[in-house]
Amino acid sequence: MNEYAAAQAALTEPWSTGQVEGQIMRLKLLKRQMYGRAKIDLLRLRVLPIA
């Protein structure tokens, strides 16, 4: 019953979490690419935009 309510809400609600999911996927990809190669400083440089 709980799954039905979640599926119904996903199809009827006007908002989406797609943008957030995309950013999470991007961050995970960067972390996988850099695993074991660099420290947090290099990861921070790649994740945060240059201001």
* Residue at token pair 């709980």: 2
- Single pTM value for the model: 0.46
pLDDT-derived band of residue 9, with 50, 70 and 90 as boundaries?
Answer: confident
Answer whether residue 3 shows pLDDT above 80.
yes
Query: Does residue 36 or residue 23 have the better pLDDT?
Result: 23
Answer whether residue 50 shows pLDDT above 70.
no
Residue 6 tokens read as: 């979640």
Predicted local confidence at residue 51, as pLDDT? 53
Domain parsing of the chain, residue ranges: 16-51
Question: Percent helix, strand and coil across the chain, each rounded to 5?
Answer: 70, 0, 30
